[in-house]
Structure 1
Amino acid sequence: MGPVTGAGASAARMLRAPRAKQAAPPSSRENGGFIRKRVYRAAAPARREISAFPGARPTPLLRSKAVALLPRPKQLSMKRFAALSFSVLTAFGCAQAQPTTYTVGSTTLTLSPLATGLDTPWELLWGPDNYLWMTERYGRISRVDPGTGQVQPLLTIADVTETGESGLLGMAVVPSVTTQSPPLYYVFVVYNYTDAGTLKEKLVRYQYTAATGLTSPQIILGNLPAAAIHSGSRLLVLPDNTLLMTSGDAANTSLAQNPQALNGKVLRLNVDGTVPADNPTPGSLVYTLGHRNPQGLVRVPATGRVYSSEHGANSDDEINLIQPGRNYGWPTVEGFCNLPAEQTFCQANNVREPLVAWTPPRAVAGLTYYNHPAVPEWNNSLLLVSLKDGALTYLPLSASGEQVSRQADVWAGTYGRLRAICVSPQGRVYLGTSNRDGRGNPASTDDRILVLENRAYQPTATTAATRLTWSVYPNPLPAESAALQLPPLPAGGVLSLLDGRGRRVWTAPLAAQQKQLTLPATTPGLYLVQLRLPDGEELRARLLRQ
């Protein structure tokens, strides 16, 4: 095995009796076993009943490994239940001819197809250019018009190796701080490739403009061990312009607890691949360890907390709160620390238990955060999609973000396997099916991007104006001036100034309708003005200080 290349190289459930751990099979747990890609099985239509009453639809409870009728004091006992009552005639992966409606509390949501004929969308995100950005596992990167659904292919990466679960995976799109027109974006992607017959993984950065497309690929991190299963990998750019990258254990459980290995980890690196000076271990990219196969990654703007979704083996899919330097237990600990050997390991190794764990597992996948008036019932909630269950699940967070108070499925199984999810600034939820990944039952229109929206929602005039006219002036800002003019903004926002390296040099809260802000003395140069609105939306504008 060659060295890692790039500059960065230098658990609430019902409980049952203790049992012996089941050995994890040498196969994927995305649906309970490994199925070679492009082998499909037909499925006959079946009538599915989903009820708001917990007893009406027997679904797996959140379970653990020891019997107790009461939950442990520090955990909440939760039961999975469906959030609404309806019947649909469906087959896994079947397209819905007409938009379908769902009721969440007093809000009516409409689900409709946006784009069809795709092949295993892996990543789906809302870009800074107000387009959807998508990766498909076989190697294609595209932009998708959120209004028309038109897919604009940008690049098919020639050296992507798609095998098993591996291929083109996570992506992040970041605006540069240059003032060029058209705007320049940096696009980070993780994918698997073959080197001398060996499967590996790398992180690559592209440059994108509307005029040139994707160009100038640069390997940021390469030569990571990989396998046909447990490749991860999601990407998340933090406000300080560092990058989080999840990595699976590459079917080698010993790597997850090895602090020298980059597999089975959440990594944190600067966007050039170097090691951030404030990482938990100096000189190491390792941010957290003890992971099996993290599949979702999201940050809550208001609290700064980062959450991940992760596949278990034969039990204990997890939602984790990611904290620097913590150990998440795999392979010694599955789910909560509630077996004697697990408790010993957890006490000795700074293990962070999950917020939620599911047994049987449901193959949790994409994860995002929702906090928008379009669906007030979902405010301050995680939204999760799953592959095996084909469910969209919402999980309200406590005010501190340290707990999940309950959970509810909006649907389960209706559209087949679900892998990707993101939210637009308008409160719409976009989902990507994964029915052509070799484990689903694709319809002729699969795979698809679906959009779930409250069509009755109308943003307030102030909110709409803010999102449409956001800018700062004068720009350039003369050397003799320190007054920055702003559009009318709602109270509770926070304005930050980032320098050309992405470092936060100044921040200030905003009062209601504040139209002017006095900046501190800064050296001449290009800055990024970052506005975080009370609903969690982030807006950015470039500012040249003369």
Structure 2
Amino acid sequence: MIRSLKTHGLKLMCAAVCAAAAATAQASTLQVQTLADGLEHPWSVAFLPDGRILVTERTGRLRVVQDGQLLAEPVAGLPEIFVSGQAGLFDVLPARDFEDSGVLYLSFAHGDKDANHTRIVRARLVDGALAEVTPVFTTHPAKSGDVHAGGRLLKLPDGTLLLGLGDGFFFREESQKLDSHMGTIVRIHTDGQVPADNPFVGRDGVLPEIYSYGHRHVQGLVHDPASGRIYAHEHGPRGGDELNLIEPGRNYGWPVITYGRDYSRALISPFTERDGMEQPLLQWTPSIAPGGLALYDGALFPEWRGDLLVAALAEKSLRRVSLAGGAPGPQEVLLQDLGERMRDVKIGPDGALYVLTDEPEGRLLRLVPGG
């Protein structure tokens, strides 16, 4: 069933990408409200039960939007963060029992340019500051440089956490190695322990946190409660960005198979498929540089229910990908008229779309149906 879904999705790939160009939405279809501006390269947005909104800035600050206003003072007590290039503070994820526990999970780059990791910490938000900051997971081995650290978090219904990671850019061969977290999606319990049903538990020489591998730079993760499927997207190089259906233990091919070329336009691999390696549901060439990923389940846009929304950096857009019938269909390109890099997209408790623009003076936008 799943393999036929992927094959069908791949067959639709060219038609969907071509249709996207003709389906660019007019600004009048959406009302765009600015909830906060002056954010320095915002990366992730999350919602608290009391109506507050949290925003991470890649430059190492956690901000709060309360009663429609961005609080001047960032949250205090964050751990030391390696901020350089693409590295910095990434995702923020409130615990399901946040109302009682005040617990948040944060992902960020830890270390320095010569040796750094992607780390998850658990902390409590108390009176505008983090308390009891405790590391729960740190990637291994260390890498050098300040790119392709991943950092996207997803809480699954069973209470476990997924973390999407990158290949470190200079270390792409690591994505095919099971003794390295680079180029993988990992799955852990919220205390950092390894779930007993992870696909590689008990195998010698394999890191047991690994859930899937062969990824280049995972930037979006979402779970579909209706089907139980997990979707992820990742950056290709020059083209070959991918939307994947994630299954435990599967190899997604990078850099052995790819639809992209290197930035020099050199051939990375002559192969776009190989036995034992998964095909993307959808690939984007030229690259759109996907940022955040959301699945629409709100009431304000009923015709979008079950569709994916992709924040795109290079394309400076928000893409809607129809999933009618369970396979990617036509795409709609939104917000290109704003001319801003889109980093994250989330569905708010009110059913509106919340989008972060990745700029030195970035914005938190709220999107509702136009008049």
> TM-score, normalising length from structure 1?
0.59
Output one character per residue of 1:204-248: Cα deviation in whole Å (capped at 9) or x when no partner: 111224x47421111111253243111111000111110000110
Output one character per residue of 1:263-293: Cα deviation in whole Å (capped at 9) or x when no partner: 1000000111111011111151100000010
- Compared CA separation, residues 145 and 329, structure 1 to 2 (3 A): same
Which residue, out of 298, 303, 306, partners 1:372? 298
SS at match of 2:303: helix
SS at match of 1:155: coil
SS at match of 2:136: strand
**What number of residue pairs does the alignment pair up?**
346
Whether contact under 8 Å (1:364, 1:385) holds in the other structure is yes
Aligned mates of 1:136, 1:152 — CA distance in 2: 13
Greater displacement, 360-369 / 150-159: 150-159
Map 1:111-190 to 2 at 5 A: 111-145=32-66, 147-150=68-71, 153-155=74-76, 157=78, 159-176=80-97, 183-190=100-107
Which residue, out of 408, 411, 414, partners 2:335? 411
Percent pairwise identity: 32
Partner residue, 1:222: 138
Code of the residue aligned with 1:81 in structure 2: it is A
Which residue, out of 187, 205, 208, partners 2:122? 205
Output one character per residue of 1:449-472: Cα deviation in whole Å (capped at 9) or x when no partner: 11111377xxxxxxxxxxxxxxxx
- Compared CA separation, residues 123 and 196, structure 1 to 2 (3 A): closer
Partner residue, 1:52: none
Q: CA RMSD in A?
A: 2.5
Aligned mates of 2:280, 2:46 — CA distance in 1: 25
Output one character per residue of 1:156-175: Cα deviation in whole Å (capped at 9) or x when no partner: 63521111111111221113
Whether contact under 8 Å (2:117, 2:149) holds in the other structure is no
Map 1:123-522 to 2 at 5 A: 123-145=44-66, 147-150=68-71, 153-155=74-76, 157=78, 159-176=80-97, 183-194=100-111, 197-209=114-126, 211=127, 213-222=129-138, 224=140, 225-226=142-143, 227-251=145-169, 252-283=171-202, 284-335=208-259, 341-343=271-273, 346-347=274-275, 349=276, 351-399=277-325, 401=326, 403-412=327-336, 414-436=338-360, 446-454=361-369
Q: Which structure has the larger Rg?
A: 1
SS at match of 1:240: coil
Aligned mates of 1:287, 1:223 — CA distance in 2: 14
- Compared CA separation, residues 258 and 413, structure 1 to 2 (3 A): farther
Aligned mates of 2:125, 2:228 — CA distance in 1: 28
- Compared CA separation, residues 356 and 369, structure 1 to 2 (3 A): same
SS at match of 2:173: helix
Aligned mates of 1:243, 1:151 — CA distance in 2: 31
Whether contact under 8 Å (1:221, 1:273) holds in the other structure is yes
How much has 1:426 moved relative to structure 2? 1.5
Code of the residue aligned with 1:274 in structure 2: it is Q
SS at match of 1:260: coil
Q: Which has the higher contact order (CA 8 A, sep 6+)?
A: 2
SS at match of 2:80: coil
SS at match of 1:193: strand
Output one character per residue of 1:131-181: Cα deviation in whole Å (capped at 9) or x when no partner: 22211111111222364455662236352111111111122111338xxxx
How much has 1:408 moved relative to structure 2? 1.0
Partner residue, 1:83: 23
Whether contact under 8 Å (1:142, 1:155) holds in the other structure is no
Partner residue, 1:466: none
Whether contact under 8 Å (1:115, 1:150) holds in the other structure is no
Whether contact under 8 Å (1:328, 1:352) holds in the other structure is yes
- Compared CA separation, residues 416 and 300, structure 1 to 2 (3 A): same
How much has 1:113 moved relative to structure 2? 0.8
Aligned mates of 1:422, 1:359 — CA distance in 2: 25
Aligned mates of 2:313, 2:245 — CA distance in 1: 21
Code of the residue aligned with 1:199 in structure 2: it is N
Partner residue, 1:68: none
Code of the residue aligned with 2:288 in structure 1: it is R
Greater displacement, 122-131 / 144-153: 144-153
Unaligned runs of at least 5 residues, structure 1:
1-70, 87-100, 104-108, 437-445, 457-546
Aligned mates of 2:118, 2:237 — CA distance in 1: 22
> TM-score, normalising length from structure 2?
0.86
Aligned mates of 1:322, 1:248 — CA distance in 2: 15
Aligned mates of 1:310, 1:223 — CA distance in 2: 18
Output one character per residue of 1:183-211: Cα deviation in whole Å (capped at 9) or x when no partner: 213211111122595233211111224x4
Output one character per residue of 1:50-97: Cα deviation in whole Å (capped at 9) or x when no partner: xxxxxxxxxxxxxxxxxxxxx9757662212253565xxxxxxxxxxx
Whether contact under 8 Å (1:175, 1:185) holds in the other structure is no
